Copies of this chain bind each other. A is one copy, B any other.
Amino acid sequence: MRSVSIVGIGQSPVGELWNQSARQIAYRAIAAAMAEASVERADALFLGNMLSGNLLDQEHLATLVADFCGLRGIEAAKIEAACASGGAALRIGAMAVASGFHDVVIVAGVEKMTDTVGKDTTAGLATAADAEYEALHGVSFVGLNALLMQRYMYEYDVPLDAFAGFSINAHRNGAHNPNAMFQEAINRDDYLKAPLIATPINMMDSSPVCDGAAALVLAPTERAHEFTRGHHRGAVQILASASANDTIAVHDRRDPLFLQAAEISSEKAYRQAGVTTDDIDLFELHDAFTIMSALSLEACGFARRGEGWRMAQEDQIGIHGRLPISTMGGLKSRGHPVGATGVYQIVELAQQLTGAAGANQVANPRIGMAQNIGGSGATIVTHILGV
């Protein structure tokens, strides 16, 4: 199996991009990544996207985007795994290069969730749940996460403001990310005064509905230097890639407060990369809701069960902390254009590992991890990157 490296990255700003369609947002990210890698062609485009069929009445999206980017005669496929679509697309791009099927592969993620005519974005997001056994009963994603957070607070006797640190950290970092949707810091008081969306989840616990796209150029590691000559940033190697699923419905799990798929995929990834949790210098986790940050830290072995929130309260997660997370704002502050999120995480990890994270730069990171979650933990993709 060939080793695979990331030789170019690109992203669009995240926000309510009302004057841009999905293809235009995707083009912006893909063109930037291709320019950085000095390539005008690629062998394939694997595009992470969740909602184009439901919200935009547009399928065949990968070929549509490839066509708009001038990439004809190549392979193009859309990869869908709910909010883990971006991470799933990266895995498939990595397989394509590792196998020798392709040499130069573009992995991108795009989502257009705002300004959709006659569509309901909340109902669209609920298509990540079981339509017949969950969504039919009116469950939304914020509702499912609220049930998990309530249960967590009860089981572990945790106060409501225990989760504030995750949101404060995300906004502090997002304030220095020019591509973030919310570029302003918040304090504990802002968190406590935020309006409730679904008790106990408030506005500051929840990631926003938004648009955005991110892109990567992949190549065999042995050829990476050919593509990175033109830019100051070096290549970043994919040390591990792992994916695991769980029951789609939360009510089918033995223990709803443990992300079993996160444990399986992170343990596989540690094994592949030959590392332990101590070796991870930063962790781009899937903070769609603050409760997901706590559960992810616990399932991946960074905190004991019921204690993930303490890492935030004790500020171990800041840029200079023991384990920096959401270093460019995370899903909460950079934003969560769902099918693109997994690719944004990798773009930001690559920025960190190549010393290009600006004001948010973690000191000399060598190994970073990203984890992309679909549904309420039903699909979990973990990547470990290194320089």
Contact = CB atoms under 8 A, between A and B. Distances in A.
Interface of A: 1, 21, 44, 50-54, 56-64, 66-67, 71-82, 88, 91-92, 94-96, 98-101, 123, 126-132, 135, 241, 243-249, 252, 260-261, 264, 374-375, 378-379
Nearest to A45: B245
Contacts of A1: 99-101
Given A67-B245, A82-B59, A375-B63, A132 B73 contact: no
Given A67-B378, A73-B261, A80-B80, A131 B56 contact: yes
Given A59-B80, A95-B95, A246-B73, A51 B53 contact: yes
Contacts of A72: 245-247
A120 to B, nearest CB: 10
24 contacts: A1-B100, A44-B243, A54-B54, A54-B57, A60-B81, A60-B82, A60-B374, A62-B80, A63-B81, A63-B245, A63-B246, A63-B374, A67-B378, A73-B244, A73-B246, A75-B243, A75-B245, A77-B81, A77-B379, A78-B81, A91-B101, A94-B101, A95-B101, A98-B99
Secondary structure at chain A's binding surface: helix, strand, loop or mixed?
A: mixed
A248 B51 contact: no
Given A100-B98, A130-B64, A91 B79 contact: no
Contact of A79 (B44, B67, B79): B79
A57 B138 CA distance: 13
Contact of A98 (B54, B79, B101): B101
A91 to B, nearest CB: 7
Nearest to A56: B131
Contacts of A135: 57
Q: How many copies does the complex hold?
A: 2
A53 to B, nearest CB: 4
Contacts of A51: 53, 59
Contact of A127 (B53, B71, B75): B53
B81 A76 contact: yes
A273 B76 CA distance: 22
Given A63-B81, A96-B95, A73 B245 contact: yes
Q: Shortest 10 CB-CB distances between A and B: which pairs? A: A99-B99, A53-B53, A60-B82, A75-B243, A53-B54, A98-B99, A59-B127, A58-B131, A78-B80, A95-B95
Nearest to A47: B80
A25 to B, nearest CB: 13
Contacts of A64: 130, 248
Contacts of A246: 63, 67, 72-73
B60 A375 contact: yes
A67 to B, nearest CB: 5
Nearest to A131: B58
A295 to B, nearest CB: 17
